[in-house]
A and B are shown apart, each in its own frame.
Chain A
Amino acid sequence: MLHIKTPKTGRARRELKKIAPKLVETGKKSLILHGTKTSNVINSVLTEIYHLKKDNAVKYTKRNDNIRPFESGGETSLEFYSLKTDCSLFVFGSHSKKRPDNLVIGRTYDHHIYDLVEVGVENFKSMHSFSYDKKFAPLIGSKPFFAFIGEGFENVEELKHIKEVLLDLFHGQVVTNLNLAGLDRVFLCTAVSSSKVFFTHCALRMKKSGTIVPRMELVEVGPSMDLVIRRHRLADESLRKQSMKTAPELKIRKEKNVSRDVIEGKIGKVYIPDQQVGSVPLPNKSKGLKRERREAKTKGEGKTHVDKKPKQQDS
């Protein structure tokens, strides 16, 4: 039996529409949570990431004993939370003797785990430890610049992965119209070695220069830490292909048969297929012929066939 369930209130309908998959996606939400045990470092890392992403992040305060992202059974809770909060990015912090100050950053596709990267946090410096002029503090929600330094980001697989994940985590939304006056933050990542990334957050100062382009000055404000890459799990190849698909109607089609000429302007060619004169079969029943025959019959039987032939040739 087909029973249709529709929401009874407009608010519920709007909420469902927000959660539904869209052709062009707006920003991803992040879920910040921690496991059985955390250290002070991890606690402050999680709170600072939450402050950086205040608009589109959800922070859970309780500890979750049954979440183990890298184990096959330990991710059901994570997927459930992702479904309930509609978050497709998660940052899971934990601390153990084997993996001190551990941070697992992961993404979900269709509320199932897509890929994971596990990093250890070292040399963490909190936002409060930096002293700077408060005028230049970046605002929440502004679109950040990204600077990745080091050839490791191109060659080493884990660094490539973490580059993509950090970009996804902090880039906010894909925007078309950007206000240039509102740019005020930079995320700097330097590949120190093939398994270590120095990550920091700086505020941007635009100073007057002679040209239209202002001179950029970076002031370190935000959390700065060393990320040591421990484990990572890339996405399944077929899942990756599926997730990278764009809608066919959004694909930009090349305009064919249009060229520009300086003198004539926009020109296009008109292609006419070959006219085959002579090989087109004529219909063997022409109206005039039929009418003639009818008239001949009705007029009289005296008329001979000879009269008709020249007329035939004419038609």
Chain B
Amino acid sequence: MGEQSNSSFEVDLGNLMAFDPHFQFSSPPTREELVRESIQQGTKLVQAIADSLFSLTSTEDRDGPIVRLPPPTTRLPREKPLPKPRPPTKWEAFAQKKGIKNYKKDKQVFDEQTGTWKRRYGYDRVNDDNDVPIIEAKMTDEPGQDPFAKRRADKKQRVEKQEKNRLHNLKDAAKVGALPSHVQLAATSLPITGTQVAPKKISKDELGNVAGMAATATASGGKFDKKLAGEKPLKHDKKYRKFLPVVEGSGMGSLERQQTDKILNKLLSANSHNILDVGKAVNFYNVKKDKKRKHQGKDQGKTSSTSSKSNAKKSPYKKMSKKGGSSSFKGKSK
């Protein structure tokens, strides 16, 4: 039913794939025909792949012949981005410069002291610092110094230096984006609320304030301490409370009067629009007016429709003023 194909199949040996671009069904096939034809064509294609596959050089293994497949020709996309090459560590850069080569070390080292083979590291190791019983004093040693403590302190320093270098190397790698796979930076992972918060950067002004506060936290309030170069004087170095003089005059002295006047003016100015409730006043006036009109209307027989209209106009005004009043009150309560 189908046209005969040329043997120009596209064979991708690396993927064990063959593609026949020339096959066509001359008439729309039924189900059985479709299946039959497909299997027939498929057989031909697989035969073509097998031909080239079996012609490759094979090595005999106990399970069967093993061939070395060529790399596939159809490119498939990766699933993860390419890993970035790691920048050399400080030691690696130094070793490269000096030409120091890394050589393979044995696990067992001959210990001169005991005459046995001991581990290079770990339990019961060669040259263990804690095992040294006697340290001979040198001419350069000061009396009173504990050489064992000194050894321990030296080791601690070496370990700290190494840790610092390791963190520095990791930071360099993280800058490029080439962290080793088992390391994660905690700053990038989401923090759990309630535990350590990342410390925020402190500004110059804040630092200045804090330094000032620290400077005055002495017994005499920092008055007699020497000021460092660049340290600014205190913002408020006077007394915080002002007391009126004891003897002033009879009755309300002028200073006391000034004080109370000041306070009173402040209060009044802040609440000046509150003292007269405009809405209430307008309402009061309107009601009075209405009553008057009613009386006049009764006497003269006027309609009250005009008064209702004017009433409707006034109600939104009333609401607005109330709003203003309440907000100002809020401000004052602070």
The interface of chain B, by Cβ under 8 A from chain A, is 14-25, 29, 31, 34-35, 37-39, 41-43, 45-47, 49-51, 53-55, 58, 61, 63-69, 71-72, 74-83, 167, 170-171, 174, 181-187, 189, 198-199
25 chain-A/chain-B pairs, Cβ below 8 angstroms? A1-B199, A3-B186, A5-B184, A145-B18, A146-B17, A147-B19, A147-B42, A147-B45, A148-B18, A149-B23, A149-B45, A150-B23, A151-B24, A168-B76, A171-B17, A176-B68, A178-B66, A179-B61, A180-B58, A182-B64, A186-B46, A213-B55, A216-B43, A224-B35, A243-B78
Cα A164 to Cα B19 in complex, Å, equals 12
Q: In angstroms, how far is the closest chain A Cβ from the Cβ of B180? A: 8
| CB atoms of B38 and A190 under 8 A apart | yes
| CB atoms of B186 and A4 under 8 A apart | yes
**Contacts A167-B15, A220-B35 hold; do A149 and B20 have CB atoms under 8 A apart?**
yes
Binds B, one of A15-23, A259-267, A295-303: A15-23
**Contacts A179-B64, A204-B46 hold; do A164 and B81 have CB atoms under 8 A apart?**
no
Within 8 Å CB of B37, what residues of A?
A: 190
Choose among B47, B61, B82 the residue that contacts A216 (Cβ–Cβ < 8 A).
B47
Cα A25 to Cα B72 in complex, Å, equals 13
Cα A243 to Cα B75 in complex, Å, equals 10
Q: In angstroms, how far is the closest chain B Cβ from the Cβ of A128? A: 17
Choose among B21, B46, B181 the residue that contacts A151 (Cβ–Cβ < 8 A).
B21
| CB atoms of B183 and A145 under 8 A apart | no
Cα A148 to Cα B11 in complex, Å, equals 10
| CB atoms of A145 and B16 under 8 A apart | yes
Binds B, one of A64-72, A107-115, A132-140: A107-115
The interface of chain A, by Cβ under 8 A from chain B, is 1-7, 12-13, 16-17, 19-23, 25, 28, 88, 107-110, 114, 123, 143-151, 153-154, 163-164, 167-168, 171, 174-183, 186, 188, 190, 192, 198, 200, 202, 204, 206, 212-218, 220, 224, 235, 240, 242-247
Q: In angstroms, how far is the closest chain B Cβ from the Cβ of A247? A: 6
| CB atoms of A215 and B47 under 8 A apart | yes
| CB atoms of B46 and A167 under 8 A apart | no
Cα A296 to Cα B91 in complex, Å, equals 57
Within 8 Å CB of B174, what residues of A?
A: 2
Cα A147 to Cα B64 in complex, Å, equals 24
Within 8 Å CB of A180, what residues of B?
A: 53-54, 58, 64-67
**Contacts A23-B83, A164-B74, A244-B78 hold; do A217 and B42 have CB atoms under 8 A apart?**
no
**Contacts A20-B83, A147-B20 hold; do A202 and B42 have CB atoms under 8 A apart?**
yes
